[in-house]
A and B are shown apart, each in its own frame.
Chain A
């Protein structure tokens, strides 16, 4: 298996632009997580899905952030409009529900100018 695949690996955009980050979980995994990593706040859970249904979105910072999982093999995290404080590394991770081990993607580094 190729692992959790995230794209893009790097994204540089200007304030006010829409950003879409993509994730393909490991085949057969039914839980998917979006984390954000910054120097100040460390790793924060933004949202997670189980069987494509959002279970906990309490970490989503504000309405500018939205996440979708239209099917078991694809998820997006969208920021609209983006702001410089959104600059961070965004990780997607997947797991098999109840197995307790998250497998992370390589992350998407977002820079908002």
Chain B
């Protein structure tokens, strides 16, 4: 079974600075999808960014970008120009493409604090 590991339970960053959240995963598959979700105090899970494993180019969404290292099974999230509204729990997630499964496997999350 696939597993997702987020080794940083908590991180903090100064407003306007850059922070990188780590994620590693374990799989024997060659094609899959990876995601970062944000959960602010409101509890709503919000998709931040996604990456298809067959694409070598790292995904970007405005101030959010990923560093996808397929061989190392690493999928880190970089937040540039951090804003107070970025404070939240961030979850890395994996989705297999095999068997038509739509199941997302989540890491335990990283709590990000943004200091003014």
**Which residues of A come within 8 Å of B, CB atoms?**
31, 33, 42-43, 45, 48, 50, 55-56, 89, 91, 93, 95, 97, 100-104, 106-107, 109
Contact = CB atoms under 8 A, between A and B. Distances in A.
A97 B97 CA distance: 12
B103 A101 contact: no
Interface string B61-103: 0000000000000000000000000000001000100000111
> Chain A interface mostly helix, strand, loop or mixed?
strand
B50 A101 contact: yes
A31 B45 contact: no
Contacts of A56: 101, 103
Interface of B: 33, 35, 37, 42-47, 50, 91, 95, 101-109
B95 A100 contact: yes
A102 B108 contact: no
B44 to A, nearest CB: 5
A56 B91 CA distance: 22
B50 A106 contact: no
B108 to A, nearest CB: 5
Nearest to B107: A42
